[in-house]
Structure 1
Amino acid sequence: MVTKAGLTGNHADLWNAGIAKAVWALGEPGFPEALERALRHLVSFEMMNGFAYAANGKAFDLDNDRIVGDRTTIVEHYLAGAYILDPFYDAVRNSPQPTVLVMRRLAPDRFTETEYYRRHYQATGIVDEIGFILKLQHVDAVLSLSRIGAVPVFSKRDIARLESAAPLVRALAEKHWHARFQPQAGEANAAATISHPLLSKRELEIVTLILKGHSTYSIAATLGLSPNTVKVHRRQVYAKLTISSQAELFHLFLSRR
């Protein structure tokens, strides 16, 4: 019986039966849906989906066959380049060990004010997201559970349940998707980057952090600069690019991807 995750009685029985079905489906097309059904006995959510990231930064579709809402925004625009602004993308690439990701713990301090948030989260109605980091043979990946619409964010008990179940979920998911991606898959197209011939390396670092949702003080702390220096760089960037807002900055670098 699962006790650390807060399950007892019938709920534990349903979880155990559901995860057993997922085990039987390993290696088969029905595995993702079986795992999703099992996880719904732990917490409620509207969508499970996933992306993988190669060492060169290229993103791939891991599991997006049951998307809830606008597939163009959630999958196609994301894979075309918007993923480089996703807090989960940074966390997956920077985490040495598999862990459970909670969006509101990772997101920068001005994340909800970004164009990425407005176009990806507000446009699709995603209100909260939790992810399992997967270490596959050639790529790292994240399998996400999202709440969508007029629903509450994941509670502390929800998070605790998923953290308790994470070793089992990761073991099954890593077994199922272990060798799906081959090294050459990331060589056909270059990974998305923030670049511009008019901007210096430091200015591009600041642009990237602005687009990800970092405030002036957060950028300063991240790069080891003073807030005033960050403000000077930001003014210089906007002057060089002849823009005056973050929306224009996003449009310049990402909206056409």
Structure 2
Amino acid sequence: MSRTIHPTAIAMIARLSEGLIQLVPQISSEDFPHLLVEVVKLFVPADEITLILFEDKPEVLVSEKTEQIGNQSIDMYLAGAYLLDPFYRASVELTQSQFFTYDELVPDGFRQSEFYKQYLVKIGLEDECGYLIIFPGGQFLHLSIGHGRGSSSRLTPSEQQLLDTLTPLIDMLCQQHWGEQLSKPLNRQLDQALANFGSSKLTERECAVIRMVLQGYSPAAIADKLFISPGTVRVHLRNSYKKLDIGSQLDLHNLFIGALMQFEHYEGGDPLEGFF
């Protein structure tokens, strides 16, 4: 009985061979990050691909986008807004590299959050997936694959499954390239800025509520997490806004980012202290 290989499988093997031929010789070279992105593009379409290394502090290594995606300064993201990114939040708990889609990571209500509006919707992105490559020293790499609103390049479930299947290979290549280069441990000190935000002005429960609002949780999701009613969540939120002299989620987001951007090196405590 003869065996046949499906043409799609043959095409995928050909793409993989082509990618590895380009990429493997460039391990440890400065061209590797850009070639890694090119290899990913052999398998799936994308409107935006960004490669960010989180070592001592986040550093953008590659950023490519189509004309459909607008330009926006990434300064605020790098200054601290990344703390609200679902991919960054996932990295805190990870011990091994993984591929994620946005739907696997985001809390209920995230698409109404200011982070989603400011860092995806404003530049034309609607969805994102990508790799989190975890290094032994705690540093990690985020390879983000974004797609615009109504884009024909939106990934199908089978394409997402393909990217997931490639995770061990992507991880191995990245470990070989960056493994010995990374000398500075990831500075997680800024994580405490989110944990302490508002603590000098708000009650402990109010701090918990605004922290979850910043991360994109809806009032109903916050209520479930904190074992309180949605009405109580709204009361805490109203009281918090009054104490902070703000009136909206946008004001809260801007206050958080503004407070973080005052620090060259955050050393602890409520980032609002000394900001007002």
TM-score by length of 2: 0.79
Deviation at 1:83, TM superposition (A): 0.5
The answer for the alignment partner of 1:37 in structure 2 is 38
Establish whether residue 89 from structure 1 lines up as the match of residue 88 from structure 2: yes
Gaps of 5+ in 2: 262-276
The answer for the alignment partner of 1:217 in structure 2 is 220
Deviation at 1:239, TM superposition (A): 1.9
The answer for the alignment partner of 1:136 in structure 2 is 135
Whether contact under 8 Å (2:99, 2:130) holds in the other structure is yes
Whether contact under 8 Å (1:127, 1:149) holds in the other structure is yes
The 1:204–1:52 alpha-carbon spacing in structure 2 relative to 1, beyond 3 Å, is farther
Could you list the per-position Cα deviations for residues 134-178 of structure 1 after superposition, in whole angstroms to 9, with x for gaps in the alignment?
121321332222224641432101111101111101111122122
Aligned residues: 249
Whether contact under 8 Å (2:49, 2:63) holds in the other structure is no
TM-score by length of 1: 0.84
The answer for the alignment partner of 1:60 in structure 2 is 58
TM alignment of 1:185-224, pairs within 5 A: 186=187, 190=190, 193-194=193-194, 195-196=197-198, 197-224=200-227
The answer for the alignment partner of 2:274 in structure 1 is none
**Counterpart AA for 2:36:** L
Deviation at 1:245, TM superposition (A): 1.4
Whether contact under 8 Å (2:97, 2:167) holds in the other structure is no
Matched position secondary structure for 1:17: helix
The answer for the alignment partner of 2:13 in structure 1 is 12
Whether contact under 8 Å (1:112, 1:213) holds in the other structure is yes
The answer for the alignment partner of 1:51 in structure 2 is 52
Whether contact under 8 Å (2:126, 2:149) holds in the other structure is yes
RMSD of Structure 2 on Structure 1 (CA): 2.8
Deviation at 1:88, TM superposition (A): 0.6
Deviation at 1:9, TM superposition (A): 2.6
Deviation at 1:86, TM superposition (A): 0.6
Gaps of 5+ in 1: none
**Counterpart AA for 2:79:** A
Q: Aligned partners of 2:85, 2:159: CA distance in 1, in Å?
A: 22
Whether contact under 8 Å (2:97, 2:131) holds in the other structure is yes
Whether contact under 8 Å (2:87, 2:132) holds in the other structure is no
| Deviates most, 192-201 or 235-244 | 192-201
Higher gyration radius (CA): 2
